[in-house]
Amino acid sequence: MKVVTEEQWQKFNDEGWLKLDEKLSDEALKALQDEIDAIMLGRADLDYDRIMMQLDSSSGRYDDIGGQTCGHKGSTLNYRKIQNLEFDPVFLAYSQRPIFEDFCDRVYGSDTPITVFRCMFMNKPANRGTWLPWHQDRWDILDRDPILTVWTALDPATIENGCVQIIPGSHKYGLINPEHASGFLTKAQAEEFCPEEKRVFLEMKAGEIALLHNHLLHASDINRSNQSRRAFSVCYMDGATTDLKNGENYGQIFGQGAMTVDSLKAEKPF
C-alpha cells in the first residue's frame, strides 16, 4: 500500500480521521473474513483462554450486552466483540504491516516503540447489533492516552447496517467527560457536542481502511439490514505506556515477530 501523502496527513490532523484511497486485495480481505468466522465458530487453531469474546445483546441496548470475558461462548456468528487478536497469527501479521508502522511513526515518532492496547473485531450481525453511544476512546487505567486507531472494514459499512458516525474535528475538543473511565459522554454532552448537523457517516466498502484519532467523537447505530457489519480495529499506542493499577509496562510489537509480553490488557469494562 502507498504511503499517505502530506496532504492526507494534514486532513487527519485537522479532522481527526482519514479514509485511505486504497483497499485490501480480495485475497487479503478473504483471509481476515475466514479467520474471524473460524474464531467465532470455534474452529480456529488458537488458545481461546487468551481471547476475550463478548456476545451481542438481543435487545439492541448497550446495557444488555454480554460480559467481556475470555473464552469461547458457543458456535455462533453473533459475537459483538472479540479482543486480544494479537494472539491470532493472521490478525497479528496484518496488524504488523509496514504501512501501519509508518502511520505510528507519523503519530508517535520513529524512535517510539509501539504496542497495541486493543486488537479487536467489532460486529453488528444482520438485523441486530447494539447502539454504541457517543464517546472518545480513552481509558483512565493508562498513564497516557493512545492516539491512533486503524479501522478495517471486513464488510460494507453503511448507514443502514450501523456504520460508525463521527464528529470531524472533535479530537481538538480535549477530553469532554474525563469523569468517565472510558470517555463516554453524558446525554447532555452528546446533545451539545454531537448534533445531527455535525454528524458524518463513515460509510466504507469491504477492505477499505480508515485512520481515527482516539479522541474523535464517534458512535454507531444498530444493524437494520440483512448484511453483517464486521470490522477489525487496532489501537496502537506508545510502548512505554504503563498500567496505573499495577505499574506494568505494555511492551513492544513491531520488529519482534511476536509479542514481547505474555498478555496485553483488554479495555476496562464499563
Query: In order of start, what are the domains of the chain with their CATH numbers?
Result: 6-238 (2.60.120.620)
The confidence band for 252, taking pLDDT boundaries of 50, 70 and 90, is low
Residue with cell 505499574: 247
> Which pTM does this prediction carry?
0.89
pLDDT of 193-212, one tens digit each? 999 999 999 999 999 999 99
pLDDT of 102-160, one tens digit each? 999 999 998 899 999 889 999 999 998 889 999 999 999 999 999 999 999 999 999 99
Q: Which residues contact 159 (CB under 8 A, 6 or more apart)?
A: 201, 203, 221
Per-residue model confidence (pLDDT) at position 268: 26
- pLDDT at 259 > cutoff 50: no
Q: What average pLDDT does the structure give for the chain? A: 89
- pLDDT at 42 > cutoff 80: yes
SS (H, E, C) the chain: CCCCCHHHHHHHHHHCEEEEEEECCHHHHHHHHHHHHHHHCCCCCCCHHHCEEEECCCCCCHHHCCCCEECCCCCCCCEEEEECHHHCHHHHHHHCCHHHHHHHHHHHCCCCCEEEEEEEEEEECCCCCCCEEEECCCCCCECCCCCEEEEEECCCECCCCCCEEECCCHHHHCCCCCCCCCCECCHHHHHHHCCHHHCEECCECCCEEEEEECCCCEEECCCCCCCCEEEEEEEEEECCCEECCCCCECCCCCCCCCCCCCCCCCCCCC
